[in-house]
Amino acid sequence: MRTPRAPAAGILPVVLCTLVLLVGGCGGGPTAPAWAASVCDALSPWRLEIDELTSSAQQQMTAQTTPAQAKENLVRMMAGAERASEDARRGVAEAGVPDVSQGDLVSDGFLDSLTQVRDAYGRAKRSIEQLDTGRPEPFYDGVEAAVDTLNKEYDASGLDTSKLNSPELKQAFDEVPECR
């Protein structure tokens, strides 16, 4: 009768690494170019939608509509921006953590920024939802205040790829086609 032998010391790490690679990577996350491409893929539709929603919101503010119609349209636009921001945040989260020095901090920075933007749109939506449409002047003053707050919060979110601390990621964002 043979007694089972323990695997050789060098085999176990290889087996474990192979298993980890199959479910998510052994030596770290995606390369800088792969991560940048995934992030830009997540952010491109978001930026387009935010631009469209911003344009629509500006048109809405000058259109000849009733306060009730304006409220409905603005709430729908803010909800769309909130949803688009969450989709972008989820896409960046799915990109993982880039395999670069302090990749976790860079990834967290993107996620935090997108979370702040998502939450800013949600707060603006709720602020507008709470406005009384019975009196136009106070309603539009409230909308203006909500949009001003949104703009300040959006600017403070700091989603700016030019401030990355990783030379590898800076280069990747400059070079991958998805980011152009």
pLDDT tens by residue, 126-140:
999 999 999 999 999
- Give the number of domains in the chain: 1
pLDDT in tens, 100-124: 988 998 999 999 999 999 999 999 9
User: 31 near 176, Cβ under 8 Å?
Assistant: no
Cα separation, 165 vs 40, whole angstroms = 17
- Asked whether the whole model's pTM tops 0.85, one would answer no
Position 18 in a domain: no
Cα separation, 84 vs 42, whole angstroms = 10
- Identify the pLDDT of residue 141: 95
Position 171 in a domain: yes
The residue ranking higher by pLDDT, 165 or 128, is 128
Position 112 in a domain: yes
Position 3 in a domain: no
Position 50 in a domain: yes
pLDDT in tens, 11-67: 323 322 332 333 334 457 999 999 999 999 999 999 999 898 888 877 776 777 899
Cα separation, 13 vs 173, whole angstroms = 34
- Identify the pLDDT of residue 143: 93
Position 13 in a domain: no
Cα separation, 124 vs 147, whole angstroms = 7
Residue span of the structural domain in which 77 resides: 32-179
- Identify the pLDDT of residue 89: 97
∠ CA 77-83-84, rounded to 5°:
90
- Identify the pLDDT of residue 150: 93
Q: Any idea which of 9-13, 66-70, 97-101 has the lowest mean pLDDT? A: 9-13
User: 147 near 121, Cβ under 8 Å?
Assistant: no
Buried b (16+ CB within 10 A) or exposed e, 72-111: bbbbebbbbbbebbbbbbebbeebbbbbbeebeebbebbb
Position 151 in a domain: yes
Position 72 in a domain: yes
Helical pair 67-95 and 103-129, crossing angle rounded to 10 deg: 160
